[in-house]
Amino acid sequence: MEWADIFGYAGIFTGVSFMLPQVYRTYKTKSVEDISWGMLLLFLANCLVWIGYGILLPAFAALVTNAIALVVVLFQIVLKFAYRNNP
C-alpha cells in the first residue's frame, strides 16, 4: 500500500466521521436550534464539489468520502427540519 492510499483512506475515515457526533447529538436531544443553516449548506456544497472532483479525475477516495459525507449531511438536514419546532 502506498502513502497516497493510506492518506486517502485516512481522509475517508476523518471526512465522514467528523459530522457524526453532531448527528448523534441531534438525534438524541432532538434539539437543532444551535445548528447553523450556513454550516449545513456550506458542508453540502463542499460534498457536491468534491464528488464532482472525484468523478472528473477520477479520485476514488474523494468520491467515496464525500458520497458518504453527503448522506450524513442530508440526514442532518432532515433532522433540522424534523426537530425545528422542538425547544
What does the pLDDT look like over 22-79, one tens digit per residue?
999 999 999 998 899 999 999 999 999 999 999 999 988 889 889 999 999 999 999 9
Query: Could you tell me the domains of the chain?
Result: 3-82 (1.20.1280.290)
Say what the pLDDT of residue 82 is: 94
Task: Report the predicted TM-score, pTM, of the whole model to 2 decimal places.
Answer: 0.84
By CB atoms closer than 10 A (0-12, 13-18, 19+), residue 76 is buried
The DSSP secondary-structure symbol of 35 reads S
State the chain's maximal CA–CA distance in angstroms.
Answer: 50
In the predicted structure, residue 8 carries a pLDDT above the cut 80:
no
Q: Where are the beta strands (DSSP E) in the chain?
A: none
With a cut of 80, say whether residue 87 has pLDDT above it. Answer: no
Element (H, E) at 66: helix 60-82
How high is the pLDDT of residue 60? 85
